[in-house]
Structure 1
């Protein structure tokens, strides 16, 4: 999870970039903050997807085998 302060800084730099432009230092900071944000987002999304269990209309587990393997390795869903 990325802190509220870092998100606020990302937004402030984006606003400044649109209005007046950024210095080289600010551009580097913006790039670093964006990369950190994307890494946190991707990690959260990966955890969310790895925790999913796919069920069809009849209640049968149709979770892909690749996902079941990952879940078994992590001890999720007792598979």
Structure 2
């Protein structure tokens, strides 16, 4: 893996983040990840989860409770 600068994660699309997470998953099945790879993977996971939470909040804000 190259370019494992955690500061680059914020500039990645969610599709790129997901792809990289999957790459690290496959790589971990082949060998142990380096400390640098683990830190980068953890940053990717955090970015992914933050995005999921942001999208869930946005959906919940659109929910209207209707009283009959």
| TM exceeding 0.5 | yes
Runs of 4+ that moved beyond 4 A: none
Provide structure 1 residue ranges, at least 5 long, that are not aligned to the other structure: 61-79
Separation of aligned partners in 1, 2:51 and 2:32:
26
| Structure 1 residue 8 displacement after superposition | 0.5
| Structure 1 residue 15 displacement after superposition | 1.4
Match of 1:33 in 2: 44
Match of 2:64 in 1: 53
| Structure 1 residue 3 displacement after superposition | 2.8
Separation of aligned partners in 1, 2:30 and 2:60:
38
Separation of aligned partners in 2, 1:10 and 1:28:
12
Match of 1:5 in 2: 16
Considering only CA atoms, is the larger Rg found in Structure 1 or Structure 2?
1
Higher relative contact order (CA 8 A, sep 6+): 2
Cα RMSD after superposing both structures: 1.5
Superposed CA offset, 1:13-41 (max 9, x none): 01111231211100000000000000011
Provide structure 2 residue ranges, at least 5 long, that are not aligned to the other structure: 1-12
